[in-house]
A and B are shown apart, each in its own frame.
Chain A
Amino acid sequence: MSVLYDPIHWTPHKRMYDRLMLSFVAGYLLLFGVLQLALHPQITAETLIIRATGTLAFLMLHIILSIGPLCRLYPKFLPLLYNRRHLGVTMFLLALTHGIFNLVQFHALGNADPLVSLFGSNTQYGSLARFPFQALGFFALIILFLMAATSHDFWLKNLTPPVWKALHMGVYGAYAMLVLHVMLGVIQLEKSPVLTGLTGLGMFTVIGLHVMAAWKQAQKEAGASARKQPPLETQQEDTLRGFVYACEVAEIPDNRAKLLILEGENIALFKYDGKLSAVHNLCKHQNGPLSEGKVIDGCITCPWHGYQYLPENGQSPPPFEEKVCTYDVQVHGSSVFVNPKPYPEGTSRPPALIV
């Protein structure tokens, strides 16, 4: 959690994650180099570096983009999400190496500034087949740079989560540009359908996983909407003014939550210690789904990065400072009712007692 801005807040998992990731990176680069020299010994050193770093960065971008929907579909993959930003920064550094070598190889030592040459050597912006694909790579690299540079929680806090999240959604624009960068660049030189097929397979994998995750999320949200209210006594109707029927108590496992979407509010309704409390569903860190979290040591714990909140007031335990909105909850018999009008972030609300 973010009370201090360490350059990297190391945990045993992060160390293991990075060791594995760097092993894969080193292994890929070594294997790619050995295979190139064995199968195509005529390759130049510059081309080898350009292709090794470019293909690895593109492959890593596919993995990065797949982790999110994979975790939505199968939450047991959540450890892959935990340190994804290190994967992203490493991918950017590889892409940067690819970009610098390309800029020097194709544009330096000539009669124009390399950046002028990058945009001015090929001006066929109106043609798809002849489009200046290197410009696409350049703009994608700018987006990846902005993401890598702002990946630290310092920027998340200071840019505010919505702005930070919107900025980091730029990765999809970068990915689209990089697919075109590959298809309008090296694929136009290569004759084998295998390379075109691999690019297509990667694209369909990323798109397919996102579509499946979106479908699952839509199903979940459909089940989270307000349901038909059970018959109530007149006395109860008075006390429940403004409240909406949410579910039955038995539907929520102990120390877990149910997602509710009531009058447009995204709410996580938690059951713990014989009580019920409701908070806003989105974690202040990276909009993680708190309704998929768990109450641990008395705190709602986000499944993405372990940020914690007290269920009664939506506040992170001191010294942490994150806060989420809270809601009123009532229990009548076995039925749970929630008032979807949010209280300001961190407002204490008494939990509803389960009789």
Chain B
Amino acid sequence: MSPDTEFYIGWQKEIPPSFKRAVRRFITGAGIAIPLLAFLIVRYQSGFSTATFEFGTTTELSGTFIRDPFPFLRVAGGTDAHGQAVFQNILLVAPGKFGFDHIEGAAALKNGQAVKLAGFLVYHDGKTALEVHRLENSTTDTATPENENQPLGAVTLRGEITDPKCMLGVMKPGEGKPHRDCAVRCIAGGIPPVLKVTNTAGETEYYLLAGQKGEALNDCLSDFVADGVQVRGQLEQHGDWLVLYADPATLRRINKGALGAGPMCN
């Protein structure tokens, strides 16, 4: 039978030779193209940060609870070269997409209270958060922590708003359009918003965002999450974290294709 007169029927036992040759060519082509596509897709991704989420590894930390503007655990980290005590502020969040106060008993903790917490550490670029799973114990003693916050003056920053928990390593990527909905959900759940700023040299810094009087901005940021934004406010150093007391009226979108810029909150 010549190739022109051959006829293929799926339920017959044998595939005619000319059909078999065509299918073989297709399979060979697919065998080359599909691995090549897999390689190109993987090779040309942006890659992922070296952020770490110690999922499954519980760490217990003792320190001083700081309530405002965001829940931190201030822990002693030894001494520096001058013999001065070094402290680290660890941002506190709850499991899932919730802020620290979602944990039972957390809302009752007072500023300056000594506490022992257990959970999974999340850290990246010198910033650390703790996904708290339980409050081990706390004393009723409180001591107003020494105010080491350093005002750094008024600044205008350009960056992307996301949530620090995912950004520090719970999710990869923890930023950008694909992560937008997750960041919206995390911020709506009480996790403080963070502004990720990358300078022209590729160096990155993170600024936790609060209102001008330290009030939470979570409820009015959802439309700006994952967009390029510009915002002005008073910058303050809180241990190893930077907090921007932002003026909502100065928040503007700066990315292309954005909707009309406008004030963040009424």
In the complex, are the beta carbons of A306 and B22 less than 8 A apart? no
Q: Determine the distance from Cα of A78 to Cα of B43 in the docked complex, in whole angstroms.
A: 34
Number of A interface residues at 8 Å Cβ cutoff, please give it. Answer: 71
Out of A35, A107, A124, A301, which one reaches B223, CB within 8 Å?
A: A124
B12 surroundings in chain A (CB, below 8 A): 306
Q: Across the interface, do A78 and B8 meet the contact criterion of CB distance under 8 Å?
A: yes
Chain A 43-56 interface mask (CB, 8 Å, partner B; 1/0): 11011000100010
Q: Determine which of B23, B179, B185, B258 lies in contact with A79 in the assembled complex, contact meaning CB atoms within 8 Å.
A: B23
The segment out of B31-39, B69-77, B83-91, B105-113 that lies at the interface is B31-39
B44 touches A106 (CB 8 A): no
Which chain B residue lies CB-closest to A112? B185
Contacting pair A80 B177 (CB below 8 A):
no
In contact, A127 and B257 (Cβ under 8 angstroms) = yes
Task: Say yes or no for A236: interface residue by CB 8 A criterion.
Answer: no
| Binary B-proximity of A285-304 (CB < 8 A = 1, otherwise 0) | 00000000110100001010
Q: Is the CB of B42 within 8 A of A35?
A: yes
B49→A42 contact, CB < 8 A: yes
A306 to B8 CA separation, bound complex (whole angstroms): 8
A110, B257: Cβ atoms closer than 8 Å: no
Interface contact B182-A105, CB-CB below 8 Å: yes
Residues of B within 8 A of A83 (CB): 10
Are A110 and B185 in contact (CB-based, < 8 A)?
yes
Complex contacts, A192 vs chain B, CB 8 Å: 44-46
Count B interface residues, CB 8 Å. Answer: 64
Q: Say which residue of B43, B97, B172 sits within 8 Å of A111 (CB atoms).
A: B97
Measured in the bound complex, the distance between the Cα atoms of B11 and A303 in whole Å is 11
Question: Which of B9, B38, B47 interacts with A40 by CB under 8 Å?
Answer: B47
A90 an interface residue at 8 Å Cβ cutoff?
no
A36 touches B188 (CB 8 A): no
Contacts of A8 in B (CB 8 A): none
Q: Is A24 engaged at the interface, CB distance under 8 Å to the other chain? A: yes
> Is the pair B10, A111 in contact by a Cβ cutoff of 8 Å?
no
Q: Which residues of B contact A14 (CB under 8 A)?
A: 10
Contact of B47 among A42, A78, A118 (CB under 8 A): A42
Q: Answer whether A117 and B181 are a contact pair too, CB < 8 Å, given A40-B45, A78-B19, A192-B46.
A: yes
Residues of A within 8 A of B43 (CB): 35, 39, 194
**Binary contact readout B87-125 vs A (1 if CB under 8 angstroms, 0 otherwise):** 000000001111000000000000000000000000000
- A195 touching B188, Cβ below 8 Å: no
Q: Determine whether the beta carbon of B176 is less than 8 Å from that of A59.
A: no
- Which stretch from A129-137, A207-215, A265-273 is at the chain B interface? A129-137
**From A79, which residue of chain B is reached at the shortest CB distance?**
B23
Q: Are B179 and A195 in contact (CB under 8 A)?
A: no
Contact of A111 with B189 at beta-carbon distance under 8 Å, contacts A47-B48, A78-B19, A198-B37 already known: yes
Answer yes or no: B30 CB below 8 A from chain A CBs. Answer: yes
**Distance to closest chain B CB from A57 (angstroms):** 13
Q: Tell yes or no: A28 within 8 A of B by CB.
A: yes
Supplied contacts A79-B8, A79-B23, A132-B181, 6 more A-B pairs, CB within 8 Å:
A35-B38, A43-B172, A44-B48, A79-B15, A110-B98, A198-B40
A-B contact pairs, 23 of them (CB 8 A): A31-B35, A32-B38, A39-B42, A42-B47, A43-B48, A74-B22, A77-B23, A106-B179, A110-B188, A111-B98, A118-B181, A121-B185, A123-B223, A127-B257, A130-B227, A130-B258, A133-B177, A189-B177, A194-B40, A195-B45, A198-B40, A296-B7, A301-B9
Interface residues of A (CB under 8 A from B): 11-14, 20, 24, 27-28, 31-32, 35-36, 39-40, 42-44, 46-47, 51, 55, 59, 63, 74, 76-80, 82-83, 105-112, 117-118, 121-124, 126-130, 132-134, 184-186, 188-192, 194-195, 198, 293-294, 296, 301, 303, 305-306
